Amino acid sequence: MTGALSPARAALYWAPTLEDPLHRLGSQWLGRDAETGASLAQPDIAGEDLPALTADPRGYGLHATLKPPFRLAGSYAALRADAAELAAATAPFDLPPLEIASLDGFLALREAVPCAALQALADACVATLDVHRLPPDTAEIARRRPERLSPAGRFNLNRWGYPHVFGTWFFHVTLTRRLTPEQDARVRPAATSFLGGAAARPRRVTELCLFTQAGPGAPFLVAERLPLGG
């Protein structure tokens, strides 16, 4: 069955390796392991409902987006083959230390300094694998509120199916929904304490992660961990 006839979606993400402590701790923070699909007990935060605050990122799994979710224009096997080829042609690289930041009220992990190799990988995922993307329909475009986007964002949405790619892309691992200042004052210290030194530890990017979603509302799961070669 082709992607045009299926509600399934795919995405290219960065995610911590299974051996990285951030995989275990970050998955527990969100309440789900995207590798296994297992639900996980989340830490308690006095005065806050962490399961509610993490409901949206929990569905996507612990990740940073490289190529945003898209419906398949062809077969999964063809996407997998091209993604594996791209990964094999990309040299592993060091990821700068990660730190918790607020993005318009959302808590997320960001790299401490920009990483050119990371930007290049995201750019390559968007452009090289775009042949596998079924263009969004009118309803999908409308949900992005194009009237609120910059000219660059509208161009990207129409051309690439998502406004934040290439020059408007930035690495982030979402940890919560948008918080009030009062919630931020409680949740940010709790996240910092819970993740401990796992975020800032040295790490190499050695994999390109292919995630899939079976249908609307279904959780995203790791389908493939494609090794980088270079």
Can you give the residue range of the structural domain that contains 70?
A: 3-227
Residue-wise pLDDT tens digits, 40-61: 999 999 999 999 999 999 999 9
DSSP line for 25-71: HHHHHHTB-TTT--B-PPPPBTTB-HHHHTHHHHHH-S-EEEEEEEE
Q: Could you tell me the two tokens for 119?
A: 């930007």
CA–CA separation, 24 and 145 (whole Å): 35
Lowest-confidence pick of 3-7, 101-105, 107-111, 185-189:
3-7
Cα–Cα dist 10/129, whole Å: 11
What is the three-class DSSP state of 165? coil
User: pTM score, two decimals?
Assistant: 0.92
Task: Return d(Cα 173, Cα 164) in angstroms, integer.
Answer: 15
Alpha-carbon 142 to chain mean position: 22
In contact, 133 and 79? CB cutoff 8 Å:
no
pLDDT digits (tens, 9 = 90+) for 122-180: 999 999 999 999 988 877 778 778 778 888 888 888 889 888 899 999 999 999 999 99
List the structure tokens of 168: 């408007």
User: In the prediction, which pLDDT does 142 show?
Assistant: 80
Number of domains in the chain: 1
Provide the pLDDT for residue 6.
60
CATH code for position 135: 3.90.1140.10
